[in-house]
Amino acid sequence: MYGFNRETVARLGRLAAAGVLGFWALVTAVPSQAALSGSAFPEVQSGQDVRPEPSSISANQVALSQFNTGQRNEAVRLWQSQADSGDAAAQFTLGVLYNRGDGGVARDLMQAVHWYRKAAEQGHAIAQYNLGVLYATGTGVARDQDAAIQWWRMAALQGHAEAQFNLGLFYAEGNGVRPDPAEAVKWWGMAANQGLAEAQFNLGLMYMKGEGIDENQDEAVRLWRLSASQGFTQAIALLKVLSLD
């Protein structure tokens, strides 16, 4: 039992308000779609001399292999064909290409939104997350917090940790919704259980301050240590200030 007294907690809060301890404030950086969209292009294994017959693997796998071996025009044509046929994975990939301006495709954010939406409407969780980011930031589409929340909620309910984190942030700060610390705790708890360091840090703050959940200093420290073990700078710094590093 750590037993930090209320004056210690209040003092840290005052220092944070004065800008002295930035790490005592909630982490508010919304992860960008670029942080996840790279997962659309995992590298093919090196030394793969024999390519499987197309009949034994999906068209998306063929396109991915082509993309990673320099046949980018062929890959894009195949993804386009698959996307036009309603394949959600191909639609998501086209969204990424247009979002980035990659694979010989000119950057076109309206096309990125179009293809992300096509995939998102079929339940593609990362497309739902990316579409939420575009709405939240007004990128390629009019800024719309309600739409961002709607798409993030869909992704979050499928277990997407960054979407869960963003929902928690919006509920904590009252962005597009009525402020609700308990709802923020719920979503950050889901993301923290999946190992998201930012969520572990924020959830620890909620436990330490008793916001949206009963105060529990032991749980706060446990969460900060989990976050710090992943190299999260703010958690490391906070533990150091509290002489718990």
Which residue ranges make up each domain of the chain?
Answer: 1-30+159-245
Closest Cα partner for 100 from 153, 36, 31, 43?
A: 36
pLDDT tens for each residue of 155-175: 999 999 989 999 998 998 888
pLDDT score for 77: 92
- The CA distance from 50 to 213, in Å, is 56
pLDDT score for 91: 92
Q: Quote the Cα angle for 170-138-72, to 5°.
A: 115
- The CA distance from 96 to 113, in Å, is 9
The mean pLDDT value for 193-222 works out to 92
Q: How far is the first Cα of the chain from the last one, in angstroms, to the nearest whole number?
A: 16
Tokens at 67, concatenated: 């993309």
The DSSP output letter for 128 is H
pLDDT score for 84: 95
Cβ neighbours of residue 184 closer than 8 Å, sequence gap 6 or more:
168, 169, 171, 172, 202, 206, 212
Kindly report the CATH number that applies to the domain delimited by 1-30+159-245. 1.25.40.10
pLDDT tens for each residue of 44-85: 222 333 333 344 468 888 888 888 888 889 999 999 999 999
